Amino acid sequence: MGLNKKNFNAVVVVEGKDDTIRLRQFFPGIETLETNGSAVSEAFLAKVKQLSQTREIIIFTDPDFNGERIRRLVTEAVPTAKQAFITRKEGEPHKTGSLGVEHASKEAIERALSDLHEQKRTSDLTSEAYQALGLAGGQCARKLREQVGIELGIGYGNSQTFYKRLQTFGISLAQLTQAVEGVKHEQHDRN
């Protein structure tokens, strides 16, 4: 997957210069827009909106609270933006520092940038089915959401955020059920 200006028309929204440096280590021609932290300005959102008229936008933020907040703000401004996710484990620093894209391996970054998600809003998933699958309210719901998020490649979210994300990306009840069963089967095999 050689990402350069010729065959990669997207602009990748990242949080800061360390993320840009990391992406360019592996993909020298990649273009990024840096939010420079969680205080996303109206000017930045206007710039992303304008760019989205001619370029594909990919949001690739850290798998933490601030990263999710930035993702939400940019997605509200550019609903057609595609979403790239790494897991919390993939974003862990090797020594010190905070969780983030700048710590991800080449493999994790390539997977995230090739497994993009976009808004579809065509899911048959209901909140009742979501709860029945054990993704909300139970003692193990948080861990299950985290593992199902990895399985589906859509990141982690609290109960409400995760449900909205499933809806937004058009994950069907059948797809979700299969992912939950797969995760539970893996857990059972480990015990």
Residue 4 lies in a domain: no
Total length of the chain: 191
Q: Which of 60, 83, 114 is the last residue of a domain?
A: 114
Q: Kindly tell me if the per-residue pLDDT of 3 is higher than 60.
A: no
Q: Which of 59, 87, 114 is the last residue of a domain?
A: 114
**7 is written with which tokens?**
């065959």
Residues 15 and 107 in one domain: yes
Residues 90 and 144 in one domain: no
Residues 25 and 95 in one domain: yes
Confidence of residue 151 (pLDDT cuts 50, 70, 90): confident
Look at residue 169 and give its three-state secondary structure. Answer: coil
Residue 119 lies in a domain: no
- The one-character DSSP state at 69 is H
Residues 110 and 139 in one domain: no
CA distance 170 to 164: 10
Per-residue confidence (pLDDT) for residue 121, from 0 to 100: 66
Query: pLDDT tens digits, residue range 116-146?
Result: 888 776 778 888 899 989 999 877 898 999 8
Residues 51 and 72 in one domain: yes
Residue 165 lies in a domain: yes
The set of residues, in sequence order, having a beta carbon less than 8 Å from that of 128 and lying 6+ positions away, is none
Residues 138 and 91 in one domain: no
Q: Which of 67, 84, 114 is the last residue of a domain?
A: 114
Query: pLDDT tens digits, residue range 23-81?
Result: 999 998 899 999 987 779 999 999 999 999 999 999 999 988 899 899 989 999 999 99
**96 is written with which tokens?**
């010190």
Look at residue 32 and give its three-state secondary structure. Answer: strand
Residues 88 and 139 in one domain: no
Structural domains of the chain, count:
2
Supply the range of the domain harboring residue 144. Answer: 127-190
pTM over 0.85: no
Residues 92 and 176 in one domain: no
